[in-house]
Structure formats: structure tokens, C-alpha cells
Structure 1
């Protein structure tokens, strides 16, 4: 597999192509499932990229859709082969939110709203440890270490010298006021945020308490966009036991509009940097 092939993105792209073939055939997912003697949920998971797609799956679906062009079949079969390869995160074993990590790894831009904690891409190791130990108190020492290492590996999307992700963050003041770890850790984390905010590809804005009620009170979310126009933008909503990925254009547009409202309410980048610097000094021993 080529080094730049992302299996998560390949699954999404392949699923999208299979959905188009089904729609061109005028068939529903239920009808396809009945033809192949599989569940309708399997067809849905194949099309939304949440399930690994085998070359046999592709062959069977192409047969149902009457695809006779061998070039199309061969292309889809190759995508299926690549989609079953392993991304860098698989080296860490069973990693939570691995689908999101795959998408984040390939995204060219990421817009995030966080209300309770500093986003993972901007966390210091000590702050990350405090977050992980606090949110998963039943985790073993080994599990905590693994999650920290995965988080630090993810941060290469920010530090990449050639093609870093374009990262916009709106961060609620509450995330900076909640002492996670201790005051020294918070001071160092805030200083790190100040440094990150000076990077040309990072925009960080603080949403102060003074704005009162705001659209972000529905909860945290992230919007991921990709270089290839055939890869639809995704809204990611993290949950305790399962995550939600929204790809319908209307859903994505609603969250994009919400994000613009949050940016308008937040302090501008310079004001935000000053706010964080002052708070870092307050936390400093």
C-alpha cells in the first residue's frame, strides 16, 4: 500500500461509490440486502465506510448492480484491498475512536468547538494524562500510557512541517478554568496554547463566560474537511460509548453555521492570546 493511502478514507470513498452505483440502479439498501442474503445494516455500514469492505463484497455488489466495465470493477477492488490495510494507529492495538483518528489523519482542515477540555491536538503530555485518568478512572496504567502515546502521535498533524492540518478552535472559558491535574499543569498547558496559537495554521479563540447563552451549548463537535472533493465533509460528535458522524450536506451546513456564530461571539485571536497568558500567570506557582 502506498504510504499516503489512508484505509479509513478509502473505506468512505469506496462506500460512496457503491452507494452511487446502487442509486443508479434504482435499488434500495433493503432490496440489495435481500438479493445477497445479508442484513440491511451491513449494506448501510458498507456504504457509510464504518465497516471493512472485502473484495468479495465488491464483486457481489457489482454483480447485483450489473457493472460490466472491468476498469470500474478493478478500481473498486483495488480500493477494497487498500481499505483493509492498517493505519498507524493499529500499531497501538484496540484504540478508542479509531475511525475519527483515521479521518483526522487525512483531513486538510479541522474546526473544533470544545467546552470542557483542551482539544487533544493541543494538549501537553501531563495535561493529557490528567484528562485520561480523570475521564477513565478504571483504566490500567498501560491503557493510560497507550492513550497518551496515541494522543501525542496525533499531534503530528499540527507539527508537520510540510502539510499540517489547518486547525481552527473555539474553546470555552470553562475548559481553562477547570483545574485539570493541578495549577502547575494548567499554567504549562495555557502557555502551550499561547505558543500553538502563534502558528500560522492554528487559530485559537476563547469563548468567555460573558457571552452568556450560545449555540455551542448543544455540545462539543468537530468539522473535518478533506482535500479530495469526492470526500464529503464530516461532523464528529464524541460520545461515551459510541460516536456519531454526520455527513448529510444539510447537517454539515447547520454545524458550519453554528461554528461561525461561535467564532463571532468569541474573543479575537489576539485577545484570546492575552486572556490565556494572563490566566497562565494566575496559575503559575
Structure 2
């Protein structure tokens, strides 16, 4: 298996349940903010009532719930007990402490050209997931892209980008691959790709051939499953665009997780169970239609021979 070089420290810490949990401050602060909102609303408590419980202001509660500011430890403990979740106090406090003592792995790429603001949140959420599921209609997923393939995709998507900025984006993609797949955390990754992803010559025959060979290597990893939806199945109704499903470790108690969708105009994060459920149903249908892993490998090998 070809793996890129390690960049910096691995942003994970072992929980008391033996799971690997991201210490990305961006992801953890956002999660704490979202959970405080969910717990308050689930119990029918207003921001004014929450503010009174901590002898603070409504504005402070608002800051907590959008992640603009973290509650102090006593404020956090008081809110959780007021929201009927005293059993979660130790866990939340440990996450708060972790978020304050760590740094995001992508910090050295933090420039507008290499790392758009929206991508920072995605990278944090992704590193927090213990299961990553994705559907791609015409490209090999970024997590499995070779350096040459990534360069071709980035060049095609932003042809006016300066060479040094393109190279920096490629380096970011390679670092992301290492952080998610090569850090020892080993999340379960289940990717379904359209057969079109195998056929398009992104970067030319040599680049595509190298990429397909790399896919076969990735598919040998015990925590990774790459399956292909063949042309004869057609595109399923309502499943025409790419998306990702990110599921968190059990101790986060986050039901269906997050659905992530990116297009030319915006990126969207769906986290309400009712919004995530259609994506989950679509992915389940794709799993039924896609080739099994061994048959997918056979199709990848045939495409590889045709391109060679």
C-alpha cells in the first residue's frame, strides 16, 4: 500500500471506551455547541431560562450555541444538569479540555487559496467520524486519490489557480488522506463509486491507470470497502449527486450523524435526523445495487487493462 508521509501529530485521543476521538478544536467546539442547543430544545427550555440557571445573559447562551465561545467548566456542568444530562458532565468536560489543548492538523495549510473556510469545518467533522460512507458519481473519492490524480482534478476545477496554490491544495489532500486513513485510528470507510469514475481519463491514461491500481490496493485494507455501481444499474432516482455520511463514535450519541453535500455554489451539512434519513436511505439502496467488493475489484481490473 502506498501511503503519503505523515504530517505532524495525529489529532486523536483514546477515550475510556477505547475509541479514537478527534481532538480537532473546530469539530469538538462545534459538537459541544450543537449538543447544548439540542439538549436545551429537547427539554423545552428557553435561552432566558438557561441564562438564569448560570446567572448569565441570553447573549452568552447564544454564544455557546453557535460555538463563538465555550462555557466555563462550572457553566457547562450547570447547563448539563439543568438540561437533564448529569451523566454527560464528565464527557463534555473532557471534550472541552481536549479542544483547548489541541490544534487542528491542517493548521499549516491555513491560507485562503489552499484551505477555504468551509473546508475547515468539514475536515474537523471528518476526523471525528468513526465511519465514513460516500457516494461519488464521476470521480474517485478524495480520500483515495493519488497525487497525480488529485493534481489533475484540482487543475480541472480551478484552471486559473496559480501553480504554487494548486500544489498546496494537493499537499492538503495528501495530508488529509494520511490523517484519516494512515494515522492508526482506522475508521470504517465504505465508498460506492459509479463506473464512470473508472472510465473518465482524468489526467490522461497514465494518471488514471495509476489511480485504478491504487484503488485496488486501498480495497485490500480491512477497514475499507470500495464498491462500484455498474452502468447497467443506471443512476438511482434521487441519487444523482455525490454525498458523504459521517457517523460518530457511540459515546457522542449523535443518532444518524452528518450528511455532507458539496456543489459549485455551496456546501451543506445536514444533521437533523429527519434531514439525514433520506441520505441514509439512498446509501442503503446504493449498497443493494452496487457490485460486491470482489466483483468491484474485477471491474476495476478490467478498466485498468483497457486504459493501460
Q: TM-score, normalised by structure 2?
A: 0.75
What corresponds to 2:34 in structure 1? Answer: 16
Runs of 4+ aligned structure 1 residues displaced above 3 Å come to 24-33, 35-39, 71-85, 215-218
Distance 2:27 2:48 in 1: 25
What corresponds to 2:110 in structure 1? Answer: 93
Distance of aligned partners of 1:137 and 1:32 in 2 relative to their CA distance in 1, 3 Å threshold: farther
Partner SS, residue 86 of structure 1 = coil
Distance of aligned partners of 1:138 and 1:27 in 2 relative to their CA distance in 1, 3 Å threshold: farther
Partner SS, residue 217 of structure 1 = coil
Distance of aligned partners of 1:220 and 1:75 in 2 relative to their CA distance in 1, 3 Å threshold: closer
What corresponds to 1:248 in structure 2? Answer: 272
Distance of aligned partners of 1:28 and 1:240 in 2 relative to their CA distance in 1, 3 Å threshold: farther
Distance of aligned partners of 1:213 and 1:55 in 2 relative to their CA distance in 1, 3 Å threshold: closer
- RMSD between aligned residues: 3.4
What corresponds to 1:279 in structure 2? Answer: 303
Distance of aligned partners of 1:105 and 1:75 in 2 relative to their CA distance in 1, 3 Å threshold: closer
Tell me if the contact between 1:111 and 1:169 (Cα under 8 Å) persists in the aligned partners.
yes
C-alpha offsets along residues 221-257 of structure 1, whole Å, 9 cap, x if unaligned? 1111111432521111113343111111122222112
How much does 1:90 deviate?
A: 1.6
Distance of aligned partners of 1:66 and 1:228 in 2 relative to their CA distance in 1, 3 Å threshold: closer
C-alpha offsets along residues 193-223 of structure 1, whole Å, 9 cap, x if unaligned? 1111111111111111111241463311111
Distance of aligned partners of 1:25 and 1:81 in 2 relative to their CA distance in 1, 3 Å threshold: same
Partner SS, residue 229 of structure 1 = helix
What corresponds to 1:159 in structure 2? Answer: 182
Tell me if the contact between 1:59 and 1:73 (Cα under 8 Å) persists in the aligned partners.
no
Partner SS, residue 154 of structure 2 = helix
Distance 2:139 2:198 in 1: 8
The farther-off stretch of 230-239 and 163-172 is 230-239
Gaps in structure 2 of 5+ consecutive residues: 1-10, 14-22
Distance 1:140 1:199 in 2: 35
Matched residue count: 274
Does residue 268 of structure 1 match 2:268? no
Distance 2:304 2:185 in 1: 30
Distance of aligned partners of 1:163 and 1:82 in 2 relative to their CA distance in 1, 3 Å threshold: closer
Greater helix content: 1
Gaps in structure 1 of 5+ consecutive residues: none
Distance of aligned partners of 1:224 and 1:149 in 2 relative to their CA distance in 1, 3 Å threshold: same
Does residue 236 of structure 1 match 2:260? yes
Distance 1:73 1:204 in 2: 39
Does residue 53 of structure 1 match 2:75? no
How much does 1:83 deviate?
A: 3.8
C-alpha offsets along residues 78-110 of structure 1, whole Å, 9 cap, x if unaligned? 755654653011221132311111111121110
Distance of aligned partners of 1:72 and 1:158 in 2 relative to their CA distance in 1, 3 Å threshold: closer
Distance of aligned partners of 1:55 and 1:126 in 2 relative to their CA distance in 1, 3 Å threshold: same
Distance 1:176 1:23 in 2: 46
Distance 1:66 1:213 in 2: 48
Partner SS, residue 138 of structure 1 = coil
What corresponds to 1:197 in structure 2? Answer: 219
Tell me if the contact between 1:13 and 1:231 (Cα under 8 Å) persists in the aligned partners.
no
